[in-house]
Amino acid sequence: MGVKGMLLFVIVALVLVEVEVVAIDNTDGTQIALDGCQRKCGDVQISYPFGIGNSNVTHATCFLEKSFELTCNSSTSTLIWGTNIPVKSINISGGQADMLIFVSVNCYSNDSGNTITYSPLHNLTSIPSFTISSKDNKFISVGCDTFGYLNSFYDNNTGYSTGCLTRCYGNNVEIKDGDCSGIGCCQVDIPPGMRKVSTLVGTFENFNSSLTFNNCSYSFVVKNGDYKFLKKHLVNLTYERLPVVFDWTVGDGTCEGGTNACKGNSRCVNSDTGYGYRCQCNPGYEGNPYHPHGCTDINECDTENHTCLSKHNCLNLIGSHKCFCPKGQSGNGTKEDGCHKKNFLPHIVIGASAGFITMLVGTCLLYLTYQKRKFIKLKEKFFKQNGGLILLQKEEESSHTKIFTASKLKKATNNYDEKLIIGRGGYGTVFKGVLENNTIVAIKKSKVVDADQLQVEQFINEVIVLSQINHRNVVKLLGCCLETEVPLLVYEFVSNGTLFDFIHNENKRNHFNWENRLRIAAEAAGALSYLHSSASIPIVHRDVKSANILLDEDYTAKVSDFGASRFVSVDQNALATVVQGTIGYLDPEYMQTNQLTEKSDVYSFGVVLAELLTGKKPFSFVKLEEKTNLVTYFLSCLKEDCLFEALQVGILNEGNKQEIVEVAIVAAKCLRLKGEERPSMKEVAMELEGIRLMSKCHWINNRDKNFEEIQHLLPMSSSSEKYEHGDSSSGSHQNTKYDSIIKDQEVLIALPSGR
């Protein structure tokens, strides 16, 4: 090879080496500093978000925020923060920087006396992004009879301090090198989050005993392990600056506050100092999380940072790695389990087992699918059988009727848990349920009954009508479920039990005064009057009784009928339930006509009024062979002028005698044997409401003077029917007044057994 050829080879080699160095340098730069920015100053590497000046490529600043701007003293190759703070190192992953900070010094002389030296840790500590690391530094005071403080202030009035003191009393014998436990040298831990920090050092006054060997005191913050106390430091501490570790954060908010400076494959971590945040590479990645290129994947297999037997058993993945065994061997390829030669017998057993399990699971799935389809078809059958198609056809009329699925009601009642039963009747059971929207409801689950197509259509019509009823004293029918063998009815839940409980339960009766009884009676009468005359289609209740009058949390009456699960037409203008009434409340005319009408409801309500007055059950056994009928007993008391003796204990007082008499008169009218002689529910409701109004009038006791006004409030009453209270001599007069009412009840009808 000639000289020219050799020269050309050298030039090409130099160019290739330079290109390789530049490429490597650029690769490092992408992970450390921004493109076109200085990457080193002396021996200190400059990592973004720190930087010097502007990029010579993009002309943008080389630092993220003003607080991260640095300068490089070219003459000393020293990296400087601010005006004169040397930077020793920058740790990106840990969010720390080591800087050299001045030592506070205070020297004492007999001529100048004692002074206290105050030394701030420069302007760095006034920036919220920088705080002194409480884990990596100590606060140290050196000297005899010396005190040192480390102060931190957030504003003019808020801050805290820490410090320590040493006393030698002229004794330097006990002072030893490396011992900073309180004699000649003391140290304390630094509280977290200290900003705007200053050190203060001073000497106790009037000390002369230490001057012979120590007349200077020192206080400083120093990185753990970077200062060792020596006895000669009491005479002269040669350090002007010492390294201090600062924690730094970026931003002025939190990770949750919006966008942050964290780049690809990194995560944001809130600062424990309460200001700003840090960025960290995700597990399996390395690099500078603040750099636009973000963090890069670590090849654990090449770096030996893996858990596999060797790099040959290691497969690098993005952000992680995977261990494996060569073909023909078993195991997971990790250092813990290793790899082994395969034993095919377990595979055969596993394969056979898997095949059997697959076949078993497949059979089960087929069976479950068959059962599910069968269940769906059964629900469709019940839905059609119970009139679901009829309900869907009446779109406009049924818009107020909600159709519940069987699964939702089953879930609402915890599979119809017996603990949730709130009532039982001859036609079914009532459960308390909680729907998915936390609405509490009462769900009526009926007993199995047979129904022809006509009854089904009439049932759907009645559900539509009842769903449209919106009266404050009628329990709201929310909807129904038609997917079960017998329809489920969903009502609003009334929380305070039944009127029957409050009359006959001694614990509840103590809080059940006359005013509440009269109000509840008026509300129930108003509800029945509404059903009879104000509903879109008149509805006959047919099972009026105190057990069907519920009370809510405010003791407001709510008329209910949970037994009404099937309906028949009385005529084209009225609907009524198939329920045949309850013994003791049943209209005597029913035994002759086999029909229950609006006047039947009036009779049953009269029994409820008698029950409210006397506190006795409609039909009871005093002894095994002795039966008591409330209607007979009540009317007899009216006839024999012993009404007040028959009242339930606690009702009567001097202010309500007249009201009780008026209510008793209304009850007696309702209990007339012939239905045509009974008042309508509208008249009963008006009468009871009039009595309530009288009770609120201040002139109620002056009855004789305001007789005409009372007659106006009670339009059903007549002077011949008023039950005037007075002495016992008026008994014959009262008997004459009530003969027309009582004589119809003298013949008792033996009623058939019922629910």
Local confidence band at 176 (pLDDT 50, 70, 90 cut-offs): confident
Name 39's Cβ contacts closer than 8 Å, sequence gap at least 6. 25, 28, 29, 32, 33, 45, 46
Q: Please answer whether residues 684 and 666 qualify as being in contact, where contact means their C-beta atoms are separated by less than 8 angstroms.
A: yes
CA 528 – CA 533 distance, rounded (Å): 9
Q: List the one residue out of 93, 101, 44, 100 whose CA is nearest residue 71.
A: 44
Residue 533 DSSP one-character state: I
Residue 639 DSSP one-character state: H
| 23 vs 636: which has the higher pLDDT | 636
- Which residues is 266 bridged to in the sheet? 281
Using a 10 angstrom Cβ sphere, with 0-12 exposed, 13-18 middle and 19 or more buried, the burial of residue 129 is: buried
Cβ density class 97-115: b for 16+ within 10 Å, e for less: bbbbbbbbbbebeeeeebe
Mean pLDDT comparison of 127-136, 385-394, 419-428, 445-454, highest-scoring range: 127-136
Q: With a cut of 80, say whether residue 196 has pLDDT above it.
A: no
pLDDT at 744: 41
User: Which residue type does 221 have?
Assistant: V
Token couple for 181: 């436990």
CA 188 – CA 685 distance, rounded (Å): 87
pLDDT at 396: 67
- For residue 465, the SS3 value is helix
Where are the strands (E) in 516-590, listed by range?
539-540, 549-551, 557-559, 567-569, 575-577
Rounded to 5 degrees, φ, ψ at 600 are: -65, -40
Domain with CATH 3.30.200.20 in the chain: 375-493
CA 218 – CA 164 distance, rounded (Å): 12
Strands 96-102 and 85-91: antiparallel
pLDDT at 529: 93
Q: Please answer whether residues 461 and 470 qualify as being in contact, where contact means their C-beta atoms are separated by less than 8 angstroms.
A: no
| 724 vs 159: which has the higher pLDDT | 159
Domain with CATH 2.60.120 in the chain: 100-243
Q: Which residues does the annotation mark as catalytic? A: 543
Percent of the chain with pLDDT over 70: 77
Q: With a cut of 60, say whether residue 742 has pLDDT above it.
A: no
- For residue 679, the SS3 value is coil
Give tens-digit pLDDT for 297-312.
999 898 888 889 888 8
Average pLDDT over residues 605-612: 95
Q: Please answer whether residues 193 and 137 qualify as being in contact, where contact means their C-beta atoms are separated by less than 8 angstroms.
A: no
Domain with CATH 1.10.510.10 in the chain: 494-745
pLDDT at 118: 54
pTM > 0.75: no
Q: List the one residue out of 461, 313, 458, 471 whose CA is nearest residue 401.
A: 461
pLDDT at 713: 33
CA 359 – CA 555 distance, rounded (Å): 62
Residue 31 DSSP one-character state: H
CATH number for the segment(s) 100-243:
2.60.120
Strands 402-403 and 477-481: parallel
Q: List the one residue out of 124, 81, 116, 104 whose CA is nearest residue 241.
A: 104
Name 155's Cβ contacts closer than 8 Å, sequence gap at least 6. none
Local confidence band at 435 (pLDDT 50, 70, 90 cut-offs): very high
Name 430's Cβ contacts closer than 8 Å, sequence gap at least 6. 421, 422, 423, 424, 442, 443, 444, 445, 562
Q: Which fold has domain 494-745?
A: Transferase(Phosphotransferase); domain 1 (1.10.510)
- For residue 343, the SS3 value is coil
CA 344 – CA 652 distance, rounded (Å): 95
**Architecture of the domain defined by 298-343:** Ribbon (2.10)
- For residue 316, the SS3 value is strand
Local confidence band at 135 (pLDDT 50, 70, 90 cut-offs): very high
Q: With a cut of 90, say whether residue 60 has pLDDT above it.
A: yes
Q: With a cut of 80, say whether residue 57 has pLDDT above it.
A: yes
CA-angle at 112, arms to 106 and 116, nearest 5°: 30
CA 457 – CA 455 distance, rounded (Å): 5
Residue 444 annotated as part of some ligand binding site: no
CA 656 – CA 638 distance, rounded (Å): 17
Query: CATH: 3.30.200.20, 2.60.40.10, 3.60.21.10, 3.30.390.30. Which one for 375-493?
Result: 3.30.200.20
Mean pLDDT comparison of 271-280, 471-480, 663-672, highest-scoring range: 663-672
Q: List the one residue out of 548, 630, 637 whose CA is nearest residue 584.
A: 630
Average pLDDT over residues 71-83: 90
Percent of the chain with pLDDT over 90: 37
Q: With a cut of 60, say whether residue 600 has pLDDT above it.
A: yes
Domain with CATH 2.10.25 in the chain: 298-343
